[in-house]
Amino acid sequence: MAQSSDEIVKREIIEHLGTEINGLKLRVFPEGSRDDQDLFSEGGLTFGQDGLKYGSCDACWYKKNVEWIDPFNHNVFNNAPVIALEGTDALDRGSRGNAQYQRFHHVLGAVKNGLIGVYYLRKGEFPIQPSLYGMAYYASKYEKGVYLIIDNLEELNDLLNFIDDEKKISNYINLKLNSMYELFLKDFKIKYGSWEKFALKRSTILFEDYVIKHAGRMRRSFTDGDQRGGHIALGEMYLTKYFFYHKKVFYLWPRMCNEDIEYLDKHKSDDKEWNLLRNEPDVQIITIDNLNGVPGNLRKRFLSVTDIPLKNAALKSYNASKKILEEGIRTRRIQIDLESII
């Protein structure tokens, strides 16, 4: 039987780096274990902040007998995490485009905790999306910790060996962040050239203090197991948040009503991705109900495709409607009703 992506990565880490390096112990669980779902301070590989859990990681290196206060529940723990890693073999499994964003949040909790977070994408048939480098670079500017994207374990080996030398680790991280930024910027200039053109092409509307990112999400995307709506929505949300980390983000789903959000709040209360979407700082989900000035016929057009896959006639109708909506928002004929947001 073929090995899973997670198993390949975990085996490779142990084979190349062992279970202890430079005084750091490795915590990793075998394929099929669900222990990684527990908080790090409870023996697992999940990190969080103020009661909000982020995705579980595949591995973490920690210092034994060093006190650490878990930002999730503020409990004192006697082992201090240093570097957390999420790994994937997705580049050899057809992963391209925004599919690579879907694991971005797994190591983000560690970064928010002030740790070094590493997203390791093993080299494969497809390249790493340059925008992923940009997301991680800007997350490192915004969050307490550092977010690094790597495609080989030698970089990880260097990190682990430099960890106790403040000057070496600082220089290494800065060089890596600058390299990530250059890869992102080169691609950005070719594809977009400016943030205004990026916004036009990526369903984003820019204002001085906030941005509105809109997408054709539907309730069924989050309730049907095969839709992966939560992972996709989460990846796009984090791309927008960190690209515009100095602004508030309104994540607009015009095919949905507040009733849909209330339903998902009730039925997805234990869903990690939904909770992150609903509670990420400086990000607010809004629906067609939270907009003032929407013409009645435009509202009807959006809601006529509220639970229909966007293809053929439904896609044509949605695309025509969103152009009208975008123009109304840009000219401020349509505005956000802050008091109506749930």
Among 172, 188, 204, give the residue marking a domain's end. 188
DSSP string across 162-225: HTT-HHHHHHHHHHHHHHHHHHHHHHHHHHTSSHHHHHHHTTEEE-SSEEEEE----THHHHST
Residues 171 and 233 in one domain: no
Rg (CA), the chain: 21
Same domain, 180 and 204: no
- The residue out of 169, 188, 207 marking a domain boundary is 188
* Whether 163 and 245 share a structural domain: no
Euclidean distance between CA atoms 178 and 173, whole angstroms: 9
Q: Which two tokens stand for residue 262?
A: 């209330």
Residues 69 and 148 in one domain: yes
Are 162 and 52 members of one domain? Answer: yes
Name the nearest CA neighbour of 43 among 75, 16, 17.
75
pLDDT at 1: 42
Q: Which residues contact 52 (CB under 8 A, 6 or more apart)?
A: 72, 275, 276, 279
Same domain, 68 and 94: yes
What pLDDT was estimated at residue 225? 63
Q: What is the pLDDT of residue 322?
A: 96
Task: Tell me: do 33 and 123 sit in the same domain.
Answer: yes
- Domain span at 55: 5-188
pLDDT at position 158 is 95
- Whichever domain contains 120, its CATH number is 3.40.91
* Phi, psi for residue 40 in degrees, rounded to 5: -60, -40
Q: Of 146, 171, 188, at which residue does a domain stop?
A: 188
DSSP 154: H
Domain count, the chain: 2
20: left (phi over 0), alpha (psi -120 to 50) or beta: beta
Q: Are residues 240 and 330 in the same domain?
A: yes
146 and 164 in a common domain: yes
Are 199 and 184 members of one domain? no
Q: How confident is the chain (342 residues) per 10-residue block, as mean pLDDT? A: 73 93 95 91 95 94 96 94 94 74 93 97 91 97 97 95 96 98 98 97 97 95 74 93 97 97 95 94 97 96 92 94 97 96 92
The verdict on 15 and 120 lying in the same domain is yes
Read off the tokens for 117.
């977070």
Do 172 and 245 lie in a common domain?
no
* pTM (predicted TM-score): 0.93
